[in-house]
Structure formats: C-alpha cells, structure tokens
Structure 1
C-alpha cells in the first residue's frame, strides 16, 4: 500500500485481533457458550470500537480535510490512531474508549476514574514526532496539535491546561462530542501548504523506517465485521466483567504475518466454520439423543421381529 489513506480506523488493532481469531485463541466455547479471549485482546477490541467511533465523526469533515487512520510510525509496531490535516492545522488523535468514566486533567496529571494515566506525556511525544517527520518530508515547518479524545466519557474536569512543558505542542483533552468543532478553528495553512503536507503524510515511508504492506481497507473491514458478528457481544460483556474463560497472553503478529493478511487468509474460513459450529450445541444434543434412542429401542425391536419370523417359518405357521 503506497497511500495511507487506504487504511481504516483501528487498522493495526484489527490486524492483531484477526491474527488471534485465525489461530483460534479468540473463539466461542461450546461448553460454556462463552468466548475464549485474554485481557489484551479485549483491550484491542475496545480500542477498535473507539477508533471507529472517532472515524465516523471525522468522515463528516468531507474533502476539506485529509484523515489518516492507524498510521504506523517509528521502527516497530507503534501507530498513531488518527492524523487530521486541514487549513486549521495538523492534529494527532489519541483515542480512548472510556464510556461513563470521569476524567480529570491538569498539566501532566490525567486521571480516569481516579487512576493516573500517562496519556498527556505520550500524546505530546506523539505530536512532536509527527511534527518532526512531516516538517522533514514536506520542507515546511509543521506544528502539530495533540488531541486526547475520550469516547462516551463521563464529566471531564479541567483544573488546568494539559501539558505545559517548554517543548510541548498544544494539547487538548476532550470528549468525542466536542471533536468536530476543533477543526473549524482559524486557518493556519494555505491550500498550497496543505497539499504539500498531505503529499508527505500519505507516504508510509514518511512515518516508518521499514513500512510493511498493509491489508486492503475494504478487506480488513469485512473481516472485522465477521469477527464482531461472531464474538462481539461476548467481548462487549467482557468490558464490564472479564470472561471466566481465558488463555495466556499472545504476542502481536510479526511483520510477515501482517503482510500475509493482504494476500490471503487461509485459516479465516476454517475458524469461522468452527465458530459457527460452536453456536449449534442444541442440534448436536438432539442428534445424540436420537442416536441413543435408535440404538436402545429400534435395533432390539428389529431383532425381535426377525426372530418371530424365523420361528414361524421353522414351525410352519
């Protein structure tokens, strides 16, 4: 893939979920009618849900902005959830799916339901990296604003501005419902400057030292929707209470695995068939009952009938 605009919300996380689905470490369990999944995969699934929600909001920007999803950056498996480019500026988005959670922020302190998180420092570093890479690739000075976007949160309390370090970019903490108007701010770039930044931003090599082939966006969307149909309700319940059925934590797929997704998914059909089969325990029980009935009643009855015919023949009746 030579243009990052072909990637979809949650692309990298979906890749990892599909890898686990294909090797069977995410699956429905016929015995418990539950889902076999570990905490890490539940976290990935939550991340995809959040990024897809934010992606829907960003779709409403239309052609006035360029939106890149799940941008691979650096030299490993890290990515930026979303990058948005328009006349109002360049923004990196760090999406957090925290339905109903209370958020408190002041400087580098950010707490979600009383638990300290390092989202501000991480998002500031992400925006600085994006600014450096885009400035180098475009030949322009490209300031980048870091957005930490909470999806469906409870109240967000701002005791002070986020960040505040000498070299920090602008950082904003907000709910997804507030996101759209951020991109309506006063223009910072001309149309020509935006075009130069976009031309640099859509190239995978701008962001990653060794960019790998990506799965086609339409393909990975279709595969995720199939996974969501199979195990989504179970994973949604795991948001509230972890599944009683678990497996050891699994490593993320290698670069070779991710390339493989773009060409063929030979195990996907087999695993979908296995998952579909696990949804039919009642039919299997009915079949077993009929088998037992046949062997316990019908077979002996047939034997007695045959014996009766034989005795009638030899006695001449």
Structure 2
C-alpha cells in the first residue's frame, strides 16, 4: 500500500519519480533466499540499481539544499511537459533561478571540459541535458509571469571518487554535492523581493508545469526505506565476509610460516 502524507505539497518530496520507478522495477524481483541474505547478495536487480542510486543522489542533494536559509525556495521532482519528465530540483533565491540535475556516479572519476563531461572516460550528455532543462524552466516561468527570466543549470555530482576541471563550462556549473550550498550562497543578487515572490508563486503550482494527463507519482517512502535497509544490511554482510576471509588467510599464512620456521630449526 502506498504511503503518502495527506498534507504533502507539490515539490516537497525529493526523488519522488525515481523512487517510484525503483520500487516498480524492484517489485518483480524475487525475494532473496536465506543463503543469499547470509552471504550478502544485494536485493537490487540490474534494472532497479540505477533507479536506486539515482534516488540516493537526489536525497543527498535534498539534504544539502535543506541547509539554505529562509530566502530560498526549493522544489523537488518538478514535473515538466507531457511525457512524465521531471527536474530533480528547482531553486529560487536572491541569486536567481537554478535547475539542479543530480548525478550519482559511484566511485567514478569525472573530467570536465568546456563542452564535455566524462565519467570514468565515457562521454555523457550531462551538459546538454542540463542546459535543456534550464531552457524549459526559463520558457515556462517567462510565459507564466511575463518576466524575462534567466535560469542557470547546475550539475551536482554525488558519490564520485575524483573530479578534474580542465575548463569550466561557461553556462553550466558542475559541483560536488558538498559544494552546492556554499556556491549558491556566494552567487550575486539578481532578483528583488517582488520578482522572487512572483516566481515562487508560479513555481509552486503544479498545473503550470505538467500536462493534466501526467499524474503525480505514487511514492511509498516506507517501502523505499525498507529496501534501503536491506541494501545496507547486504553491504555490511559482504564486508564482514571479506574481513573474515582476510583474517583466515592471515592466520593460515602465519601458521605455515611458524611451521616452516620450526622445520628449519629442527633441520
């Protein structure tokens, strides 16, 4: 049964779309056996794992955005268009309007140039897609308010091993999740209080963004929390087995060394 807070407001649930997709995909995965649990096999399937990691990334960035002060408005999982697409986070403050595209790349090495972003050496469309999202928000807010709006795209990287900035893109900010709030707070003021209020009102109305045919995702927060607990428990079990095997290997090696030394002394 889906768990939804009856007081929940539009844009208040981080990672709503990816959590819903993750749980939908995971629903067809067979329950793990006792042996699988014992040895720490992950409950995630190959298909559900990308959705799961995407949800973790968006939740992590939402935690960072919660640190912004009262002068900021933050919406999560903002639907846009007629195909069920959404924008991870949209932020409005004195510094302007920002779309935030979260990317969870576990243990990856990131390379950033003015026109390319590589993940462990592989080309991506991250810069292009981020620009496209910002353009869509600009068009929507301009049409709603009649104001000339400029939306800045931001790519936030979660879970990466390292990042090399060869040349920063002129129009897209690329940041680690831990850098985001400080970066936003340092951006210069571009909006006065009246414009910011008009934009905040426009942003907070779902019918301005998604087509009537696009339904809000049903998000079972409790089910995702349970899945997350299972994944974490499996990871701990695997780590325990690794340590046990390593300890056993060391003990065997030590025993062999002692026996060899004893044989040498007797010889």
Verify: 1:40 aligned to 2:47, yes or no.
yes
- Normalized against structure 1, the TM-score is what? 0.65
Higher radius of gyration, 1 or 2 = 1
Partner of 1:121: 128
- Unpaired runs of 5+ in structure 2? 1-5, 239-267
C-alpha contact (below 8 Å) 1:9/1:70 kept by paired residues: yes
How far does residue 36 in structure 1 lie from its aligned partner after superposition?
5.1
Alpha-carbon distance in 2 for matches of 1:68, 1:212? 17
Verify: 1:178 aligned to 2:179, yes or no.
yes
Count how many residue pairs are aligned between Structure 1 and Structure 2. Answer: 227
C-alpha contact (below 8 Å) 1:156/1:174 kept by paired residues: no
Which of the residues 198, 201, 204 maps onto 1:199? 201
Q: Which moved more, 1:29-38 or 1:135-144?
A: 29-38
Change (3 A) 1:103 1:20: closer
Change (3 A) 1:227 1:178: same
Partner of 1:254: none
Change (3 A) 1:148 1:236: farther
Partner of 1:259: none
Alpha-carbon distance in 2 for matches of 1:78, 1:202? 17
Alpha-carbon distance in 2 for matches of 1:225, 1:95? 20
How far does residue 204 in structure 1 lie from its aligned partner after superposition?
1.3
Partner of 1:137: 144
Superposed counterparts of 1:52-131, under 5 Å: 52-131=59-138
Partner of 2:254: none
How far does residue 59 in structure 1 lie from its aligned partner after superposition?
0.4
How far does residue 236 in structure 1 lie from its aligned partner after superposition?
9.2
Partner of 1:220: 220
Offset from partner CA, 1:32-55 (integer Å, 9 cap, x none): 333454323100110111111111
How far does residue 232 in structure 1 lie from its aligned partner after superposition?
4.3
C-alpha contact (below 8 Å) 2:25/2:47 kept by paired residues: no
Structure with greater helix percent:
1
- Unpaired runs of 5+ in structure 1? 165-169, 239-317
How far does residue 87 in structure 1 lie from its aligned partner after superposition?
0.9
RMSD: 2.5
Partner of 2:33: 29
Alpha-carbon distance in 2 for matches of 1:76, 1:235? 36
SS in 2 for 1:39: coil
Superposed counterparts of 1:245-256, under 5 Å: none
Offset from partner CA, 1:78-101 (integer Å, 9 cap, x none): 211111111111111111112432
Partner of 1:300: none
Alpha-carbon distance in 2 for matches of 1:83, 1:236? 35
- Normalized against structure 2, the TM-score is what? 0.76
C-alpha contact (below 8 Å) 1:11/1:220 kept by paired residues: no
Offset from partner CA, 1:240-299 (integer Å, 9 cap, x none): xxxxxxxxxxxxxxxxxxxxxxxxxxxxxxxxxxxxxxxxxxxxxxxxxxxxxxxxxxxx
SS in 1 for 2:166: strand
